[in-house]
Amino acid sequence: MASDKRVNIVAARVIPVVLGGLLAYGSYVFTRPLCIDYFISPPLHYGAPPPRRGLATGLLIVFYFLLLVLAVSYFRVITTIIWNPGFLQRGNQWHQSRTGKPEGNTKRRKRRHRPGTSYPDDANVEHGPYPIDAYGLEAFYCKDIFVCEQDGRPPWCSTCCQWKTDRAHHCSEVDRCTRKLDHFCPWVGGVISESSFKFFIQFLFYTFLFTTFNVVVFSIVIAEYRRNSGYLEVQWLVALALCGLFCLFSFGMLVSSLHLAFINSSTIESLTRHTKVWTLAVLITRPKDFYELQSRRKSPIPVVIYPSSPIPSSSSSTRTATSNAPPREFAILSTKPGENPFDLGSPLANLKEVMGHSLIDWLLPLRYSPCSGYGSQESAYAFGPVVQRLKKENGLDCSE
């Protein structure tokens, strides 16, 4: 496992440099051997047609325009991964364990757990138990809805020692919890997440356009050159093979990424998309209606109250102003297997959550995805019809 992580990290550092070299080589082949030596001033023994300077100029303009937008989109992805990767802040216990201070506290934390829970190994940190003395829940129960476990608490990462926000997952390659983690991609040098997924799609789209253009041009020219001279130009063949390879690869990745955007999911979430049951803590805004339904149920819905207890004065954490707020009751609701509470009900609405609400946002890698700055009072991400149905079924729908 550790060796695989090191390989992925090294690949993420090396591959972008290799891609830059391939782009430089492809630009040279397209400019010098193709446009200059073949179209503008072709040697007579090539058996080529007369000079075609206008065609060469047009091809070069299109080529370098596509190369420019490709380079800009690639640069945007890489800089976002470096400067705004979407990592969650690690908890105090993680920092304390690194300094070697609270080793005893760590052991005590592992002993104080709810009956019936077990501690996962290093390969499975996503569903680890959370300590009784862990704080930072205010950011969750101040929202009206948040993703939780069966006991009403948010998922806890035992590696980062921190509560995981909605749709966050732990990335083993970088050993960090990441908001809306999609996957670790060596081709762009790091983690594709909430902040970079839009730019990644744009990069794939422009890569597909650029390589498709090159495949078409080189295919036509190679066929023409062979017909006129009976020979094949090796550099053109190499460029065609490379462009064809990256064209197929980028097309496959683009289709896969757009599919995830259309259903408002991620690569990590899609692994269990057909069986996943989401558990949500939903604020009880109409207690009378809710508890009236509760009294008629054979199996009442679990309820959790925040804040559940005051923070001890001996804790290293400081109590925030929101901790003094009146108690908030949450019903713990579960979706049906395969339901996605983040699906907004239409592919277009889901796509806009990633790509933006205007054509400029779709084409230019400038603004972040709308979902990355959602942060409403209701929830960290927009919820769709599944949550509306759950609220209505359980007397929590304020619209009635």
Pairwise CA distance, residues 370 & 349, whole Å: 11
Q: What percent of the chain has pLDDT over 70?
A: 83
Query: What 3-state DSSP class applies to 45?
Result: helix
Q: Mean pLDDT for the chain?
A: 85
pLDDT value, residue 302: 92
Pairwise CA distance, residues 400 & 396, whole Å: 9
Greater model confidence, 239 or 298: 239
pLDDT value, residue 1: 58
Beta carbons of 170 and 157 less than 8 angstroms apart: yes
pLDDT value, residue 48: 60
Beta carbons of 325 and 142 less than 8 angstroms apart: yes
Pairwise CA distance, residues 39 & 52, whole Å: 5
Q: What percent of the chain has pLDDT over 90?
A: 62
The CA distances from residue 205 to 161, 211, 253, 296, 318, in Å, are 38, 10, 9, 54, 47
**Count of alpha carbons within 13 angstroms of residue 392, beta-carbon side:** 8
pLDDT value, residue 119: 34
Amino acid letter for position 34: L
Beta carbons of 385 and 345 less than 8 angstroms apart: yes
pLDDT value, residue 375: 65
Beta carbons of 233 and 225 less than 8 angstroms apart: yes
pLDDT value, residue 354: 96
The CA distances from residue 287 to 5, 310, 361, 362, in Å, are 49, 24, 42, 43
pLDDT value, residue 323: 53
pLDDT band at 394 (very low <50, low <70, confident <90, very high): confident
pLDDT reading at 59 higher than 90: yes
pLDDT value, residue 230: 76
Pairwise CA distance, residues 146 & 139, whole Å: 10
The span from the first CA to the last CA of the chain, in angstroms, equals 52
Beta carbons of 93 and 161 less than 8 angstroms apart: yes
Q: What would the pLDDT profile of 287-341 be if each residue is shown by its tens digit? A: 888 888 888 888 889 999 998 644 443 333 333 344 566 889 999 999 999 999 9
pLDDT value, residue 127: 44
Pairwise CA distance, residues 365 & 260, whole Å: 19
- Dihedrals φ, ψ of 166, to 5°? -50, 130
| DSSP structure string for 362-379 | HHSS-SPPGGGG---SS-
Bridge partners of residue 185, in order along the sequence: 190
Pairwise CA distance, residues 239 & 70, whole Å: 17
What is the pTM assigned to this prediction? 0.85
Q: For the ranges 228-232, 259-263, 312-316, which has the lowest average pLDDT?
A: 312-316
Could you tell me the two tokens for 391?
């609220």
Pairwise CA distance, residues 250 & 193, whole Å: 18
pLDDT value, residue 100: 64
- Dihedrals φ, ψ of 397, to 5°? -90, 115
Pairwise CA distance, residues 290 & 397, whole Å: 10
DSSP for residue 345: S
